[in-house]
């Protein structure tokens, strides 16, 4: 009798890639049309055309177009080559509900699989955020209870809870030159 093995389905997109494409704009977590198009393997204009053909499915709380100021601010904060230097149109931002609605507009098999991964990522991020808030609340209650006795301990815990700063990458290049050994050269006999 053969054992039935459950087929494990591999993710079509790395979770880290999805997490890096989620931004916080207008007090909500969103994904930009150009990043979504990249994940779905479609041209950004094709994605936007599909959305515009079905605009009634995308109210303002599902999707909005970035203002020029928001777009410039985002570009200056996150240096990504795929933004395209001379883009004419500002990208659209899709909330979690808007991304879910995209699966009904883009009907490809990949779009459905990518949407599933994106929804799982949004849920995971929400769970992490709730857990972090709960931990902060509990720590604040403990601080009030144990005042100055454990001040050093609480400060250390707060320090551990703050995310580490990402090291800045140096821009440009360094030239390493050999230093001349002035005065240290062996003397030669001149005749």
Q: Is the pLDDT of residue 5 over 70?
A: no
Q: How confident is the model at residue 148 (pLDDT cuts 50, 70, 90)?
A: low
Residues 109 and 59 in one domain: yes
Q: How confident is the model at residue 81 (pLDDT cuts 50, 70, 90)?
A: very low
Domain stops at, among 122, 147, 180? 122
Q: Is residue 65 part of a domain?
A: yes
Q: How confident is the model at residue 63 (pLDDT cuts 50, 70, 90)?
A: very high
Residues 29 and 112 in one domain: yes
What is the chain's mean pLDDT, rounded? 76
Residues 101 and 133 in one domain: no
**Mean pLDDT of the region 72-77:** 78
Higher pLDDT, 19 or 56: 56
Domain stops at, among 122, 149, 175? 122
Q: How confident is the model at residue 49 (pLDDT cuts 50, 70, 90)?
A: very high
Taking the C-alpha atoms of residue 143 and residue 112, their distance in angstroms, rounded to an integer, is 47
**Mean pLDDT of the region 25-44:** 89
Residues 89 and 148 in one domain: no
Taking the C-alpha atoms of residue 93 and residue 51, their distance in angstroms, rounded to an integer, is 12
Higher pLDDT, 172 or 39: 39
Taking the C-alpha atoms of residue 121 and residue 161, their distance in angstroms, rounded to an integer, is 21
Percent of the chain clearing pLDDT 70 (strictly above): 65
117-150 core/surface letters (b: 16 or more CB in 10 A; e: else):
bbeebbeeeeeeeeeeeeeeeeeeeebeeeeeee
Residues 55 and 147 in one domain: no
Confidence at residue 149, expressed as pLDDT on a 0 to 100 scale: 58
Q: Is residue 68 part of a domain?
A: yes
Q: Report the domain count for the chain.
A: 2
Residues 90 and 150 in one domain: no
Single pTM value for the model: 0.58
Confidence at residue 13, expressed as pLDDT on a 0 to 100 scale: 73
Q: Is residue 32 part of a domain?
A: yes
Of 52, 66, 51, 41, the C-alpha closest to 99 is 51
Residues 113 and 139 in one domain: no
Q: Is the pLDDT of residue 89 over 50?
A: yes
Residues 36 and 106 in one domain: yes
Residues 87 and 138 in one domain: no
Q: Is residue 61 part of a domain?
A: yes
Q: Is residue 7 part of a domain?
A: no
Q: Is residue 56 part of a domain?
A: yes
Q: Is the pLDDT of residue 26 over 80?
A: yes
Residues 65 and 139 in one domain: no
Q: How confident is the model at residue 134 (pLDDT cuts 50, 70, 90)?
A: confident
Domain encompassing residue 83:
15-122
Q: Is residue 48 part of a domain?
A: yes
The CATH number that applies at residue 101 is: 3.10.260
Residues 70 and 139 in one domain: no
Residues 133 and 68 in one domain: no
Q: Is residue 57 part of a domain?
A: yes
Alpha-carbon distances, residue 124 vs 21, 110, 166 (angstroms): 15, 21, 22
Separation of CA 113 from chain center: 19
Confidence at residue 86, expressed as pLDDT on a 0 to 100 scale: 45
Please tell me the chain's helix, strand, coil percentages from 3-state DSSP, rounded to the nearest 5: 55, 10, 40
Higher pLDDT, 167 or 95: 95
């Amino acid at each position: 009798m053969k054992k039935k093995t459950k087929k494990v389905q591999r993710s079509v997109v790395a979770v880290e890639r999805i997490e890096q494409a989620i931004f916080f704009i207008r007090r909500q977590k969103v994904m930009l049309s150009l990043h979504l198009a990249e994940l779905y393997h479609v041209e950004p204009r094709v994605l936007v055309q599909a959305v515009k053909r079905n605009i009634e499915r995308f109210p303002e709380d599902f999707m909005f177009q970035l203002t020029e100021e928001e777009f410039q601010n985002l570009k200056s904060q996150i240096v990504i080559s795929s933004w395209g230097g001379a883009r004419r149109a500002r990208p659209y931002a899709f909330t979690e509900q808007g991304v879910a609605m995209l699966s009904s507009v883009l009907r490809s098999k990949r779009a459905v699989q990518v949407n599933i991964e994106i929804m799982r990522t949004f849920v995971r991020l929400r769970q992490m955020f709730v857990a972090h808030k709960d931990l902060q609340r509990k720590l604040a209650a403990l601080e009030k209870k144990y005042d100055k006795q454990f001040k050093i301990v609480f400060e250390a815990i707060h320090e551990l809870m703050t995310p580490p700063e990402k090291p800045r990458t140096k821009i440009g290049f360094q030239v390493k030159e050999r230093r001349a050994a002035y005065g240290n050269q062996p003397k030669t006999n001149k005749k």
